[in-house]
Amino acid sequence: MSEIQNPGQKPEARTIELTVNGVSRRGKAEPRMLLADFLREELDLTGTHVGCEHGVCGACTIICDGTAVRSCLMFAVQAAGAELATVEGLADGGTLHPLQQLFSEHRALQCGFCTPGMLMIAIDLVANNESLTEDDIRIGMSAALCRCTGYDGIIKAVAAYAEQIHGKSAHGMGADV
């Protein structure tokens, strides 16, 4: 006969092992613990921000096995054995990742709350699209909400990054990009 769980009883936490930014990590997660909370609370990787917790704002975006995902829409247990990339893995010591540098140059952030998610979305967008138009970038970056910048600097920074990676300008971008 299966055991009946007391409604007030917390489900048992299990150990999750996964790779984050190239490093093997492990931590405890109850079955319903969100991946975003696991990263922040168990692994102390607080660069991944949590805004809406409903898959809308994009602040919690990370890369899981090569694809950008909302970490508030995944349970930690679903990421067992996965390879994750978070914003903490972008800079190399004191040297900014090229996309971070471009965000700085193009003033693509103000308060910075949306920035970790923006960066991870942009990296996924550029990595998976060799020929991006300005519209493609605008549509792709609409996956994250920014309440400060008006998006102009963000679009310019991502277009400049796409040019660095793929060697051509986004069609439709102005000469000042």
Closer Cβ to ligand FES, 81 or 112, answer by number = 112
Min dist. Cβ of residue 57 to ligand FES (A): 3
Q: How far is the CB of 175 from ligand FES (least distance, A)?
A: 26
Closest approach of Cβ 1 to ligand FES, in Å? Answer: 40
CB of 6 to ligand FES, least distance (A): 31
Q: Of the two residues 139 and 148, which places its CB atom closer to ligand FES in the complex?
A: 148
Q: Smallest distance from the beta carbon of 87 to ligand FES, in angstroms?
A: 14
Where would I find the beta strands (DSSP E) of 130-171?
Answer: none
Name the site residues for ligand FES (rule: CB under 6 A).
50-53, 55-60, 70, 72, 109-115, 146-149
Sign of CA dihedral 43, 47, 53, 56: negative
H/E run at residue 121: helix 115-127
DSSP symbol at 170: P
Of 29 and 143, which CB lies nearer to ligand FES in the complex structure?
A: 143
Closest CA to 79 of 31, 123, 22: 31
Q: 36: which 2 tokens?
A: 């975003």
Query: Phi/psi zone of residue 112: left (φ > 0), alpha (ψ -120 to 50 degrees), beta?
Result: left
Q: How far apart are CA 174 and CA 169, in angstroms?
A: 10
Q: Which is nearer to ligand FES, 52 or 139 (CB)?
A: 52
Q: Which is nearer to ligand FES, 60 or 173 (CB)?
A: 60
Q: Do residues 103 and 154 lie in contact, with contact meaning Cβ atoms separated by under 8 Å? A: yes
